[in-house]
Amino acid sequence: MTFQEQISVGIPAELPASKPYDTSVNHAPKRKQILSPDEKKLAIKNALRYFEPRHHKELAAEFSNELETYGRIYMYRFRPDYEMKARPFSEYPGKSDQAKAIMLMIQNNLDYAVAQHPHELITYGGNGAVFQNWAQYLLTMKYLSEMTNEQTLAMYSGHPMGLFPSHANAPRVVVTNGMMIPNYSAPDDWEKFNALGVTQYGQMTAGSYMYIGPQGIVHGTTITVMNAGRKISKNGEGLEGKVFVTSGLGGMSGAQPKAGNIAGCITICTEINPKAVHTRHSQGWVDEVLTDIDSLIERVQKAKQTKETVSLAYLGNVVDVWEKFADKDIFIDLGSDQTSLHNPWAGGYYPVGLSLEESNAMMASEPEKFKEKVQESLRRQVSAINRHTAKGTYFFDYGNAFLLESSRAGADVMAKNNIDFRYPSYVQDILGPMCFDYGFGPFRWVCASCDPEDLAKTDAIALSVLEQMAKSAPVEIRQQMEDNIKWISSARENKLVVGSQARILYADAQGRINIAKAFNDAIAKGEIQNVILGRDHHDVSGTDSPYRETSNIYDGSRFTADMAIQNVIGDSFRGATWVSIHNGGGVGWGEVINGGFGMVLDGSEESGKRLKSMLFWDVNNGISRRSWARNDGAVFAIKQAMQSEPLLRVTIPNEVDDAIFTN
């Protein structure tokens, strides 16, 4: 069969041959056994729902074996034989160009060059899944190949519930992931209900089909590192010769060394998984690989002397680096951590003193002992970090639940008031007040043609728009404009593309609207083909996360999730092609609610109306919430928005003088 025919088949009527376990691919660690015998039977019955009864006996034995061996039912037998990658949207079968664009994005999320554990349908973060199993993938692609612009596909945590009648201006797909009853969002709840096959962890952009490889975070990481450098800068000096230590090269964490290179520092990024190190090195995201810590020290000292910009991957544990550098009195200027500590007990963090293989075995067979090892490792890591910060190192939490899990492990991370952490979140110190409050966040696009020349043209269009806007930009946002102009000017030479022809930059509402309108006009003129807009959920409006996106909200509402829910509802009737709402992305199951969107630009007048309506709301919803929390930058930004749009009326907070409380 042709590729188009295979996509259209869905779940085959006859069973394909079993597939051998491919050891050349990076696989998810075995999940711990958490189901009772009756629950395992239920998990198998749940999986068999996708198949005709005549196949149940054979598949029941196979799925039982997968459940026992891997802790999940992935249905490896049904993994398609065609190459998993984004193709030009015109190559997909179907009646709707919007649906074809979504198929492109789904396949990009599962591209071997993009996905962390592609055979387990996990894109990044250790458990950020596009689907729970391969039957869901096959059925979803079939539905999309049949969809018209008068239908909407409902996706329940990876399961395609079905195509429902709607209308042309409705979203083509509505995605929910992990939307649990609130009291069932503990880590073991995820383990249990995911093993049962009834929910999944969609991360932020995995289960919403908007992941674009490490580039998706490299820009935000670059902005963070650059501004962290400005915070420690004396007399306006840059980051030349300064050392940035962090960890994690799997999934999106590969962005860190690339961001360090763009920012101009010496980056040390540790990683315990050799396959992840090899992947990032072969893709050019890290310059050099070292396996001996003494050689690492020697290489860093040489780079410091010559003020060389270089990224170094250390194949080993980050705790050893923090401790050895402290013992040898090697000064670290900037420090952070980007291991997947939202998932600490199932491969998100590997404890010092254990190899990768030992950890993977222990987390499945002795989960309580593994938890003790992780918490012991976190205490050691924090102790070493504290030794460095006492000498002047600027350490910030990168929103991966590092400080949260360290505090739960009893590490010395609390401030003197024993309420706050002693170190700031990067959102509290950098992205919140400098970017999010002003509406600047991760605006991204994908060229549906998969043509590098289209990407080059969109880069040029975006640069032209930003340069024009910068001429009259208020002083409050001039630095943000300059940083993004510098970014997009050098984006191509930095070789950021992995998988689809995609780009990201930070822009405010007006910037996003102006760039999107320029794209739509270029499509209408035939200069480029269709463009898919989106963003990371890590943005101004999309995510309620008290330890990350909304950590600089100080009116007591940072633990509420109204903003994210309002965001996705508002996007859905203002023109988004698809919308998604998730529990758990970025910082952990039960710790965050985040929403996102995708929008296909096709050059039509209707597309132009939708982009203006939706993008204006998508940003200003969050600015209004941040303004109501009395964030000065957001108050400024929402007043600017009201001046530009007469129909916008937002409640502005009145300031309260603390002097009234003196009696």
Binding-site positions for NAD(+): 125-126, 203, 271, 398, 586
> What amino acid is encoded at 655 in this protein?
E
For 364-440, strand residue ranges (E) read 394-395
A 10 A CB-CB count for 274 gives 13
> Beta partners for 117?
122
How many angstroms separate the CA atoms of 123 and 116, rounded?
Answer: 5
Helix (H) or strand (E) holding 295: helix 293-306
- 524 to each of 98, 137, 443, 579, 594, how far by Cα in Å? 16, 33, 21, 25, 33
Q: Residue 381 has which token pair?
A: 């890591």
Q: Dihedrals φ, ψ of 577, to 5°?
A: -75, -40
Cβ atoms 228, 394 nearer than 8 A: yes
Torsion (CA) 509, 511, 514, 515 in degrees, nearest 10: -120
Cβ atoms 123, 114 nearer than 8 A: yes
Q: Residue 191 has which token pair?
A: 């383990």
> What is the Rg, in whole angstroms, of the alpha carbon atoms belonging to the chain?
24
CA 559, 564, 565, 567 torsion: positive or negative?
positive
Q: Among residues 101, 100, 121, 120, which one has the least CA distance to residue 110?
A: 121
Mapping DSSP to helix (H, G, I), strand (E, B) and coil, where does residue 537 land? Answer: coil
How many angstroms separate the CA atoms of 219 and 239, rounded?
Answer: 17
Q: What residue numbers does the annotated binding site cover?
A: 125-126, 203, 271, 398, 586
- 380 to each of 318, 339, 387, 409, how far by Cα in Å? 11, 15, 11, 10
